[in-house]
Amino acid sequence: MLIDTYGRVATDLRVSLTDRCNLRCTYCMPEEGLQWLAKPDLLTDDEIVRLIDIAVTSLGIEEVRFTGGEPLLRPGLVGIVERVAALDRRPQMSLTTNGIGLKRTAAALKEAGLDRVNVSLDTLRPDVFKTLTRRNRHQDVIEGLHAARDAGLTPVKVNSVLMPGLNGDEAPDLLAWAVEHDYELRFIEQMPLDAQHGWKRDGMITAGDILTSLRTRFELTAEGEEKRGSAPAERWLVNGGPHVVGVIASVTRPFCAACDRTRLTADGQIRTCLFAQEETDLRAALRSDAPDEEIARIWRLAMWGKKAGAGLDDPTFVQPDRPMSAIGG
């Protein structure tokens, strides 16, 4: 298993399939995009499946989340899902996406074995969406969400980041819409993972701000820590249930003590945390014909050195060099 010196055990693997994205969200990357990874640097489909196989058969991984960049841009995605679903120890599989390509791929992903999806949508207003993402694709995301729900990729979770002066007033409207369409809404505090390093803690919309806004229209009842477990989202029943809303307070109420994640970047590096400054190379071991046992040993050693927390509350915190699009969400 993947245990660290603080006794935490990683059972959740986040796999970034590509660093590329077809949006240019202001809190993630500059308008002109980034210097993408060269194709030879990316893990192949076979390498990804092999590493996931090692993770689930030798290291105790129970859940795999495919991320990006935008994972729907990966040409072999459906085949990867199908092959992971056929492993002897089949993990739960989910996908985090911007939703633009879901309308055409949701049914195929479900048939291949994907269990559910998380879709990023920060606003119900097409004009605000265009400002936030620098693309006019709002309707594509809405249609992708509907396609995921109709295909049975449920619960369909919607991830929203609120930004002052843009969509900061939309929390109640987003929740009303999510309840109407049977999506599970989760608000995420904006994190310092933008390529421009423009994030500032002062002025950010906090979990407390979000809950105060939601309570102007809804009655919220906390589910409690027992139900939460190691999940990053604190959840509340909406008007007594059955619908719930989550808030991921990564900055103001970090949940590092319960973290159960390990992360694999698109170029084959292990990251113990989104905010880690160090990576451990698995791609080199793969391409030098190392046996599975050696790769598992390297992975265990990397996770053993995981730090106690992300350090966001430390005044000396240094933002990672890689933006979120390169390391997965």
Tell me the C-alpha distance between 5 and 302, whole Å: 11
Asked whether 158 and 141 are in contact (CB, 8 A), the reply is no
Closest alpha carbon to 186 in 132, 253, 251, 232? 232
Q: 14 labelled as ligand-binding?
A: yes
134 assigned to a ligand binding site: no
CA 235, CA 226: separation in Å to the nearest integer?
Answer: 11
Q: Is 216 annotated as a binding residue?
A: no
The C-alpha atoms of residue 268 and residue 18 are separated, in whole angstroms, by 11
Using an 8 Å Cβ cutoff, are 192 and 199 in contact?
A: yes
25 marked among binding-site residues: yes
Quote the CA–CA distance of 23 and 232 in Å, as a whole number.
Answer: 25
Q: Residue with structure tokens 């990672």?
A: 320
Q: Is position 96 annotated in a ligand binding site?
A: yes
157 is in an annotated binding site: yes
Per the annotation, does 130 bind a ligand? no
Binding residue per annotation — 306? no
Distance CA 18, CA 272 (A): 18
The annotation status of 261 as a binding-site residue, yes or no, is: yes
Is 21 marked as a binding-site residue?
A: yes
How many CA atoms does the CB half-sphere of 17 hold within 13 Å? 25
**What is the Cα–Cα distance from 266 to 16, expressed in whole angstroms?**
5
137 is in an annotated binding site: no
Question: Does the annotation place 120 within a ligand binding site?
Answer: yes
273 within 8 A of 307, measured Cβ to Cβ: yes
DSSP state at residue 262:
E
- Is 273 one of the annotated binding-site residues? yes
Distance in angstroms (rounded) separating the CA atoms of residues 122 and 143: 15
Alpha helices in 134-264 (DSSP H): 138-151, 171-181, 207-214, 225-228
* Contact call for residues 199 and 262 (beta carbons, < 8 A): no
Binding residues: 14, 21, 25, 27-28, 65, 69, 96, 120, 157, 191, 256, 259, 261-263, 273
Binding residues for [4Fe-4S] cluster: 21, 25, 28, 256, 259, 273
Binding residues for GTP: 14, 65, 96, 157, 261-263
Binding residues for S-adenosyl-L-methionine: 27, 69, 120, 191
